[in-house]
Amino acid sequence: MKRIILSIIILFAASCKDNVPQQSPEQEITVKNNQVTIPENSPVLKKIKTLTVSDQEYNHDITSVGTIEAIPNNYAEIASPFSGRVTRAFVNIGQKVNAGSPLFEVLSSGYLDVQKEYSDALNEAGLAEKRYKRQQDLVKHGVGIQKELEEAETEFKNKKISLSNASTALKIYNSQSKGSGGLIVRAPIAGEVISNKIVTGQYLREDAEPVMIVAELSKVWISGEVKEKDLRFIKNGDQVSVKVNTYPDRAITGKVYHINDWVDEATRSIKVLIECNNPDKTLKPGMFATIIYSTDSENTIIIPTSALMQKDDNQYVWIKTGKNQFMKRNVTTAEASEKTIKITSGLKSGDEIMTTGGIYLLDVK
């Protein structure tokens, strides 16, 4: 901030260097008790302009860049859970699907093994149940052995657990195929098929890259970053404005959905997620966006850039203390634009400051 302000001052000083008025001895500026007095007939006085400052309403807009992303719960990359050959494809790219809709079928020996394990577990659980009931009946009629009944009961419980595990494994793949032995891969979410690499007859490996993507993009996130110093101005639920280069004249709004709980030590920034409605799907994942956070307004003092002077690390203005009399006043600043600077301390409403001509007093001690 100080470097920017100093650069502005140096440029201004250079432009005025050749216009410094020549003064005779009776026109010389005098200094007493840190107060500068400019004679009435001094040509410098004609160069000076002043302004009475007052509190003004100020909006602290924060601008950052971000990338449009699909919301994780609304985005699914789909691969075959088993190695096998594609026997059927049920959808095309751009097609809308519901959760559970069939996408493609794979004929897989791995899936046949899962089916066999379930069938075997079902048969074994049935046999164990019969043995257990038989032992119960024998003991009831006084011809059975209690130890054998307990062993049959334990075996039946174990077989039921195995059957439950095999059933769960089979249900995970959610197949409704009968007899073909093929695994029907289904959509885990409702949405639109935005990528489809399925070719009937191709062989898929279980460790291959996803072959289909289903996404629901009626809402999207914009992932951006905010500087640590600006975090105090932002909270969850705040409305923001969004601009994308593809639609420069379109007004897009969103809201702050989440603010990360940690700071990136390298950039001193915090990740912020913005949620935007996207009913016409014009916001595409991967697009860049500009995010403008409009914070609450505040009353503060704003001065022209030309009024601010700098020496070493000190920033100051000339305060009018009497007729043709001025005194230095150190100030601290915040945001600066090309024409104005926000003052955070050193000035109060009603102070009259020099806005033009301070360059001629640079050599005054």
Do 193 and 92 contact (CB within 8 A), yes or no?
yes
Q: What is the pLDDT of residue 116?
A: 73
**Which two structure tokens, joined as six digits, stand for 265?**
């030590």
**Which two structure tokens, joined as six digits, stand for 79?**
């691969």
Do 329 and 316 contact (CB within 8 A), yes or no?
yes
Which of 313, 351, 344 shows the shortest CA–CA distance to 5? 313
Q: What is the pLDDT of residue 6?
A: 47
Q: In what order do the strands lie in the sheet with 212-215?
A: 75-78, 212-215, 191-196, 96-97
- Best CATH choice for the domain 62-72+217-298 from the list 3.30.70.141, 2.40.30.170, 3.40.190.10, 3.30.420.130: 2.40.30.170
Q: What is the DSSP letter of 20?
A: P
Q: What is the pLDDT of residue 290?
A: 93
Question: What is the CA angle 237-239-244, rounded to 5?
Answer: 125
For the chain, the domains span: 2-58+299-361, 62-72+217-298, 74-215
Rounded to the nearest angstrom, the gap between the alpha carbon of residue 153 and the centroid of all alpha carbons in its chain is 57
CATH of domain 74-215: 2.40.50.100
Q: What is the pLDDT of residue 178?
A: 47
Question: What is the CA angle 82-80-207, rounded to 5?
Answer: 70
Write the CA distances from 132 to 109, 125, 141, 153, integer angstroms: 34, 10, 15, 6
Q: What is the pLDDT of residue 90?
A: 94
Question: DSSP states of 121-136 as a string?
Answer: HHHHHHHHHHHHHHHH
**CATH architecture assignment, domain 2-58+299-361:** Beta Barrel (2.40)
Which of 173, 201, 187 shows the shortest CA–CA distance to 113? 173
- Helix/strand/coil for 161: helix
- Helix/strand/coil for 212: strand
Q: What is the pLDDT of residue 19?
A: 53
Do 31 and 344 contact (CB within 8 A), yes or no?
no
Residues of the chain with confidence (pLDDT) below 50: 1-2, 4-6, 8-18, 175-179
* pLDDT digit string, tens, across residues 215-254: 999 999 999 999 998 888 888 999 999 999 888 888 899 9
- Percent of the chain with pLDDT strictly greater than 70: 85
